[in-house]
Structure 1
């Protein structure tokens, strides 16, 4: 069993000690080589010890957790973010397919997150890819703007796409098929609800239990054969009755926002 060296970075004493205890009791392949109360302390530990994994709090007094990213990237260390509930932060983390633990940390969620990260480190070793995902997250949280890029599990790694390139997403059992404007499509192991939580709310609308469309790619809609949308790629799709009022409300807001710009 390969032991991964990890550090915990959190300004809250209870959060540090409880995570340390949970890791010792439940994750035998993780060795905690340092515990830091601040970004400055963490930088010193990273500079003097080889690190495979960082449990990183995002919001800390005296320094944002993202200040550690350049140091983490130098050692190609994986990162599991630990955060209190912050809706935007969670959206950005999920959009970049990065691992996180929501405080207070659940034992089973901790085990799952550690297993995912250790498997990725051991099997794929795609360092550039992880670095880019973390950089995208830092940029998103720095600007607090809408999510612009999405990281999708693909084959033995991840594919990064621009949100604007998505035409629509269709459900396929426990999977979703993402259709892009270059006629490519990607099948990912996410359900539509997960995309609803991540994608910009005013740009994307769920028109059916099995489909979400990007309003930027909407060409027209009419009710000649039941309520339908027609997309720029030539495809047409039905709008379910229960989704119709939400669709028209989104159209109204989207049109207003477009005219304001």
Structure 2
């Protein structure tokens, strides 16, 4: 699979350097557009379809993060290219494919491109959808594939304790203690997860019934999970949760 790439960087040297590095080392990448500002990038996004964007962060007027809404709305994968490492956490929340520090190392660039190609191919082959239109989905084996900072991660839904809303992000809490931060709203996963094992108990949480240790009305309805996390059940969802619990634990 050949990826159509957009380079966004305000420094001419950085644009040219990345262009030649990709041309010489990454045959799976076609450079479809080069922009020296976020404004120019927005114009190119209206003119053609891209699979991946190599995005600088520190730029005048608008920084790279301000372009993310347009990229994410088109499901364009993002590989950040920056001279600064203090943006790593924010890049994590943005679910970038990778985060490359300048001067860009050829081996690291190849790895980043390989992740992007693998992610695009997996979505295309497994679901018949393009990388631009595919969404996380549960397959027959109850697995879900989630875009992450280092490409994608396929997890078993049985390993999810609960999913927590954080603004427009969803945080997956796994039984291993790992947390996956995904730039998708919680509602999208409410519709995707196995409705038998999962239930939304609050505007900010979906839980896996498999990991409910107990629940109590002592201080308002609360659920204790097996990892000792206590989560509130909203009043309007209390009846639904209690009925679900009755059915689930007497099956």
Report whether the alignment pairs 1:50 with 2:38.
Answer: no
Q: Give 1:17 shift.
A: 0.6
Q: Give 1:46 shift.
A: 1.0
Higher-helix-fraction structure: 1
Give the distance between the partners of 2:156 and 2:55, measured in 1 at CA: 25
Report whether the alignment pairs 1:185 with 2:201.
Answer: no
Which residue of structure 2 aligns with residue 219 of structure 1? none
The CA RMSD over aligned residues, in Å, is 3.9
Report whether the alignment pairs 1:119 with 2:118.
Answer: yes
> Aligned runs of 1:105-254 on 2, under 5 Å?
105-124=104-123, 125=131, 127-128=134-135, 153-155=153-155, 161-162=163-164, 185-186=175-176, 233=228
Change (3 A) 1:163 1:76: closer
TM-score, normalisation: structure 2:
0.52
* Equivalent residues of 2:147, 2:153 under 8 A apart: no
**CA deviation profile, 1:208-229 (whole Å, cap 9, x unmatched):** xxxxxxxxxxxxxxxxxxxxxx
Structure 2 gaps, min length 5 = 124-130, 137-145, 167-171, 181-226, 230-251
Change (3 A) 1:64 1:95: closer
Judge which range, 5-14 or 94-103, deviates more: 94-103
Which residue of structure 1 aligns with residue 88 of structure 2? 90
TM-score, normalisation: structure 1:
0.50
Which residue of structure 2 aligns with residue 38 of structure 1? 37
The count of aligned residue pairs is 157
* Equivalent residues of 2:5, 2:53 under 8 A apart: yes
Structure 1 residue ranges (4+ consecutive) displaced by more than 2 angstroms after TM superposition = 91-98, 124-129, 151-164
* Equivalent residues of 1:85, 1:102 under 8 A apart: yes
Change (3 A) 1:31 1:152: closer
Which residue of structure 2 aligns with residue 79 of structure 1? 78
Structure 1 gaps, min length 5 = 138-150, 165-178, 191-231, 235-261
Change (3 A) 1:42 1:128: same
